[in-house]
Amino acid sequence: MAHFAEVFVDRLYEHGVRYAFGIPGGPWIPYMEAMRRREMPFILVANEASAGFMADVCFRLTGTPALCHGTFGPGATNLATGVGCAHLDRSALIAATTEQSDAMRHRVTQMNVDHQALFAPITKWTVRADADTLTSTLDQAVATACEEVPGPVHIGLPVDLNDRNAPRGGNLPETNATIAPPPAAAIQAAADLIRQARRPLIAVGLTAARLGLDRSLIRLLEVIPAPVVLTPMAKGLLPETHPSYAGVLFHACSDRLADITRQADLVIGLGYDPVEFDYEAWLPPVPVVHIDTAAAELSAPYELAALCVGDLDVSLQTLGTMTPLATEWDFDQLARHRDGLNRALRPRSEGFGPSEALDILRDTLPPEGILTCDVGAHTHLIGQLWPTPAPGHLLMTNGWSSMGFGIPAALAASLCRPATPVVCVTGDGGFTMMAGELITARRLGLNTVIMILADRMLSLIEVKQGWKNCPADSSRLFQHAFLDADRIFGVPVLKANSPETLRPALRQAFHTAGPVVVEAEVDGRDYQQLIARSYK
């Protein structure tokens, strides 16, 4: 037997948990002390939502869940924003909240809400811990979070358990993390449809990126020479220079992809998770072969002609044994399409445009560097324009799409990959949401660069207001200078308003110890041309 908090922390540590984020209440102090003894320090953040975002990114980069915490009521509701991100972006984490005792749980009392009702729609499992079954609860929580499809688990910690002891568990249970292969008949049906196609199109999504199937995809293209479209979170699975690369769905200038997709006579959804972008939002009227770890649904008139649910590697290996197809795609036309897409992504700007700023950042950031981005008009541009050398080098939220993601994601990346250059690109709106995390970065000494594309507007809303012929004055954030300071929360601010000033500012930022903010004043009018009107 040992103190409840000690057993809680020790068991998670045995499962490989090394990071914990949040804002404590008084009842969380014993857990913090248990973490200190385990050399798993509790990382204080400025906003509980950041704790969830950071735990999400830790899983993406390490493959092991992290812990995030919020206290009663408002701590839990703030935390829910980050937990929801892990739910729809498919990341395993353990969310813990302090809860009222059984005696007070249903009473009207300060800061009391039903945490299980709050977290049930945005987690795979929510449970109230009990001293006698704590170890088995934690074992089940980690297993549930990590099993396919991964996601968050919530554990409520009743406050009266702080005075209790709990039995220590034995050895960790054996985990069966394998995914069953798809039925052989399903793979055969898919292969038959692919052989019959003359212009198959491959759509690659979040599952393929999460499982790191970049090499498998390239090998498959030797057998099925076809154009590839990607969802935003699948960036990095195929080089932008590959002959099959056609572009990214949903993001900037993606209406141009219709010139390719409408020629298809079959769509192969490979690791395609519709949480990012429903099939129906872009599909041509052709049959679909869906190959993923989870099933998908299609609405009429679209047809799900074959469904291969299970281990993606098994499906890919089997399809890879097919005789190479002689498809009828015109790859010269596809090359011209890529050239046209690249030109469209870099419109002739009246001022210093966001595309030019991002190209300068790409030139400055080493190839192994990690870019995180927030949510806004710049996300649509980054998702299409940013050359991404491999999975994990561009971190965004698209299933959840919460503003405020970019800065906490960058801090988590710097924690997990301390030797890797990390930069966050955020708009001025997203920055204002999470500016307090600069204190976190400074306290931890993280070498994180935060580049603000300051255009004075919520530009994505401004674009959509323009579509509806509505005035955009309600989307304006400020009139004149944004930060108007050389330091914010003790973090240096470097300013740029042109290519000539941005390049040296970024070089200085990447060679400065600790966090640095680069405020790049850009002309947001370019977004009007870049964001595809046909999408959300």
Structure tokens, 496: 């740029």
**In the predicted structure, residue 64 carries a pLDDT above the cut 60:** yes
Q: Compute the average pLDDT of residues 248-267.
A: 96
pTM of the predicted model over 0.75: yes
In the predicted model, what is the mean pLDDT of the chain?
94
Q: Is residue 251 within 8 Å of residue 383, measured between CB atoms?
A: yes
In this structure, which amino acid lies at residue 92? A
DSSP H or E stretch at residue 492: strand 491-496
Chain centroid to CA 142: 20
**Residue 483 to residue 392: CA distance in whole angstroms:** 31
Query: How many H helices and E strands in the chain?
Result: 20, 21
Matching residue, tokens 């050359």 = 387
Structure tokens, 484: 């108007």
Q: Is residue 232 within 8 Å of residue 248, measured between CB atoms?
A: yes
pLDDT tens digit string along 442-471? 999 999 999 999 988 777 888 888 888 888
**Residue 463 to residue 473: CA distance in whole angstroms:** 12
Q: Compute the average pLDDT of residues 63-81.
A: 97
**In the predicted structure, residue 110 carries a pLDDT above the cut 80:** no
Residues 6+ apart with CB under 8 A from 462: 377, 472, 475, 524, 527
- pLDDT value at residue 375: 96
DSSP labels for 59-110?
HHHHSS--EEEE-TTHHHHHHHHHHHHHHHHT--EEEEEEE--TTTTTS--T
**In the predicted structure, residue 216 carries a pLDDT above the cut 80:** yes
Matching residue, tokens 């897409």 = 341
**In the predicted structure, residue 412 carries a pLDDT above the cut 60:** yes
Q: Is residue 492 within 8 Å of residue 512, measured between CB atoms?
A: yes
Q: How confident is the model at residue 533 (pLDDT cuts 50, 70, 90)?
A: low
R_g of the chain computed on alpha carbons: 24
200-204/266-270 β-pairing: parallel
202 vs 457 pLDDT, higher one:
202
Domains observed in the chain = 2-166 (3.40.50.970), 184-340 (3.40.50.1220), 345-530 (3.40.50.970)
pLDDT tens digit string along 498-522? 999 999 999 999 999 999 999 999 9
Q: Is residue 389 within 8 Å of residue 370, measured between CB atoms?
A: no
Query: 288 preceded by cis ω (within 30°)?
Result: no
Dihedral of CA atoms 384, 388, 393, 396 in degrees, nearest 10, equals: 0
Beta strands in 147-205 (DSSP E): 152-158, 165-166, 200-204
pLDDT tens digit string along 293-304? 999 989 888 989
Q: How confident is the model at residue 526 (pLDDT cuts 50, 70, 90)?
A: confident
**Residue 506 to residue 449: CA distance in whole angstroms:** 8
Chain centroid to CA 498: 30
160 torsion bin: left (phi>0), alpha (psi -120 to 50), beta (else): alpha
Structure tokens, 144: 């549930």
**Residue 355 to residue 380: CA distance in whole angstroms:** 11
Matching residue, tokens 């829910």 = 80
Backbone angles phi and psi of 291, in degrees to 5: -120, 110
Matching residue, tokens 């419109």 = 347
**In the predicted structure, residue 536 carries a pLDDT above the cut 90:** no
352 torsion bin: left (phi>0), alpha (psi -120 to 50), beta (else): beta
Q: Compute the average pLDDT of residues 304-329.
A: 94
- pLDDT value at residue 462: 81
**Which of 101-105, 145-149, 216-220 is predicted with the least confidence, judged by mean pLDDT?**
101-105
Q: Is residue 89 within 8 Å of residue 148, measured between CB atoms?
A: no
Chain centroid to CA 483: 27
Q: Compute the average pLDDT of residues 276-305.
A: 94
258 vs 169 pLDDT, higher one:
258
- pLDDT value at residue 535: 43
* First and final C-alpha spacing in the chain: 55
Q: Is residue 453 within 8 Å of residue 468, measured between CB atoms?
A: no
Q: What angle do CA 467, 472, 473 make, to 5 degrees?
A: 170
DSSP 172: P
- pLDDT value at residue 112: 80
CB atoms within 10 A of CB 140: 15
